[in-house]
Structure 1
Amino acid sequence: MWKPQLERVESSVNVPSIAAAHVIKSHVAQGPDELSLEVGDLVCIVAMPPKELSPWWRGKRGFEVGIFPGECVELISRKVPESLINSLPKPVPKKRGKLNTFLRSVVKARPRRAKQPEPEKEGVFGCDLGEHLLRSGRDVPQVLQSCAQFIEEHGVVQGIYRLSGMASRIQRLRHEFDMEQVPELSVRELHSVSSLCKLYFRELPNPLLTEQLYAKFSDAAGAATEEERVFRMKDAIQQLPAPHYRTLEYLMRHLASLAGNCSITNMDAHNLAIVWAPNLLRSQQSQSACTSEGAACLEVQTQSAVVEFLISHTDILFGSRSTSALGEGAGEHLPPLV
């Protein structure tokens, strides 16, 4: 199976490095694609995207290659790292040694300010996908897994994901997930559950398929032959950050499962793509108020074509594995991507 941004272990020695860093914060790997770190370790950095793009960096420690939170390391330049400089004792000039000692004693004797309260924990909706999964220790968002499992059990009904739920119920469920609670879902609010699932992806700061890969996904969907479309789509998927890749696989298997029941739901891959595409794929140009009506219409068609292809070719793109098998161990992690 294709795995995002990972090299095979036996070729890890040849992965080029762009910087060196030392570990300032320990990290325990939550999946096979992550790298465990201990304070004091040295790491060779392979990729370090800007924080606004992804909090995950990629590097190698010895013969291991994997991803880890960028905040766990500090780059080593030609200068000694500031954190190491601050840890060294400062020399005291002989002439001013007694004065400095006296001033230090005065400062230490001053009452300390009350500790500032810690900032409130970020919610779930509107939070960067990688940061949220890192904080929650999950492979895919809880809101996706809860909604998908509930819909597959109770939501094989006509118009699923096309009909909207009640705004008040959607906001109540959203609040509970934001408080990191798992609400009890009711069949009476089925369409509110499906609307909530779409809302989560619509509010991601960087969409699931990422703005950076928009052109690659668009070009893949527009390729001349089926074989070329599959090849290009796999290439684009492979370049997704690991949290986006795992979440995309889970969502596509869920939607493909629903598309298989289109005789009941009247929601085949094409119809599901129409309602899901704007929540998963958007370009930076689409956010501009100057976008013409014709360009906007063309973009909607492109988005739908990409998502429809992903749903229709899920087993080819991700490998043939059932949705139920993917969802086993609901409170823990998905099976490793191999």
Structure 2
Amino acid sequence: MGVACSKISRGPDMAGTEADNMWKPQLVRAESSLNVPAIAAAHVIKSYVAQAPDEVSLEVGDVVCITDMPPKELSPWWRGKRGFQVGSFPSECVELISGKVPESLVDSLRKPVPKKRGKLLPFIRSLVKARPQRAKQPEQEKKGVFGCDLGEHLLRFGRDVPQVLQSCAQFIEQHGVVQGIYRRSGVASKIQQLRHEFDSEQLPELSVRDIHSVSSVCKMYFRELPNPLLTTQLYDKFTDAAGAATEEERLLRMKDAIQQLPAPHYRTLEYLMRHLASLAGNCSVTNMDAHNLAIVWAPNLLRSQQSQSACASGGAASLEVQTQTAVVEFLISHADSLFSSKTSSAMGEEAGERLPPLA
């Protein structure tokens, strides 16, 4: 999952399911935004899962045709076309490629229909203006699991690692050794259902039929942590360790970095990396080795201040994604060496001291 780095294509199960069609409002079908000429093109720098019928999901590395882009001071939501999907999305998730739309994308768009344009543009603007109010609602619902500080969450529930991670990882290891695991996305409605059940402190009934929805909700949990799993504070230490000259030096510096993590983050990271290392061992079946798993997981585990402010240029953002991928790939490939039983035991003993107190 990167801005301009290698991107794994989606499987056929991603295209046009019945669930996707059910999410498209009739009004948008009747006056499709495909008829609106694109005004810019952008690549996705931050994944996003649609939260409403008039939104579109984004995957890092995708290209989006922008059809409406109000100033950010008026609305944080833009509208555009990704493949055959049309909808709104947070503008912070994309970065403009240039002022000109590539011809290949222009050709994929239908020509505008003049008689409908007058009705369609006010409709789109009304949707865009309505988005900020809906976007604030999740901020008022932080009592659940998603979007909650990791240390506070584990202390509140008296757990060593998040229930979302444990339930999803165990289920995937039993039933998810399938092609494209963690790369392919599940059905948006099913992902939201699983999220709601976890947030309601329920244990959802996971289904093999929805294995990619299970993996998607697991990634979503980490993507929404206020402080990423590898923490913003230690971002430079992890990236510097990945760039060390020798394998031995990388191992020493990476181990030093992970041992500086707060205990809840360390325990959760160990659990996740051992899980991903186990899946990487089945890459002959899944086509997801340590590198491919790192591509889809890296943006969910570490973020720099620059990437969060979306001020990096295209080249800098691409280099940053490659560096993040290198960090996560090293963690997966060297999980046994980095998380020795002695180190894990010591970190567990410090958990009481390093967990943040509840307000």
Q: TM-score, normalised by structure 1?
A: 0.59
Deviation of residue 337 (structure 1)?
6.3
SS of the equivalent of 2:303 reads: coil
**Per the alignment, in what secondary structure is the counterpart of residue 211 of structure 1?**
coil
2:222 to 185, 201, 208: 201
User: Do residues 281 (structure 1) and 295 (structure 2) align?
Assistant: no
CA 160–120 in structure 1, closer or farther in 2 if over 3 Å, else same: closer
Task: Look up the match of 2:203.
Answer: 182
Return the alpha-carbon distance in structure 1 between the equivalents of residues 349 and 278 of structure 2.
Answer: 20
Q: What amino acid is aligned across from residue 270 of structure 1 in structure 2?
A: H
1:125 to 2:146 alignment: yes
Change (3 A) 1:337 1:253: farther
Q: Which runs of 5+ in 2 are unaligned?
A: 1-139, 351-359
AA matched with 1:187: V
Between stretches 285-294 and 213-222, larger displacement belongs to 285-294
Q: Does 1:254 align with 2:272?
A: no
Matched, 1:145 2:171: no
Contact persistence 2:267–2:348 (CA under 8 A): no
Shift of 1:289: 3.0
Shift of 1:152: 0.1
Within the candidate set 318, 322, 338, 2:339 is matched to: 318
Structure 1 distance, partners of 2:171, 2:159, is 19
Gaps of 5+ in 1: 1-118, 327-334
Which residue, 212, 215, 225 being the options, matches 1:191? Answer: 212
In 2, Cα distance between equivalents of 1:308 and 1:244 = 18
The yes-or-no answer on 1:223 pairing with 2:244 is yes
CA offset digits 1:226-282 (Å, max 9, x no partner): 010000001000100000000000000000000000001000000000000000011
Q: Which residue of 2 aligns with 1:244?
A: 265
CA distance in structure 2 between the aligned counterparts of 1:309 and 1:259, rounded to whole angstroms:
12
How far apart, CA to CA, are the structure 1 residues paired with 2:144 and 2:231? 21
**Displacement, 1:320?**
6.5
Q: 1:291: Cα distance to partner? A: 1.2
DSSP-derived class of the 1:277 partner? helix
CA displacement at 1:287 relative to structure 2: 1.4
Letter of the 1:227 partner, please give it.
E
2:256 to 225, 235, 253: 235
Select the residue among 284, 293, 297 that pairs with 1:272: 293
Aligned to 2:328: 307
Q: Any idea what SS the aligned residue of 1:196 has?
A: helix
- Output the amino acid matched with 1:289: A
**Aligned-CA RMSD value:** 1.9
What percent of counterpart residues are identical? 84
Q: CA separation in 2, counterparts of 1:153 and 1:211?
A: 33
Q: What does residue 19 of structure 1 align with?
A: none
| Residue type at the aligned position of 2:219 | K
CA distance in 1, matches of 2:291, 2:334: 12
1:112 aligns to what? none
Large movers: runs of 4+ above 2 Å: 335-338
SS in 2 for 1:188: helix
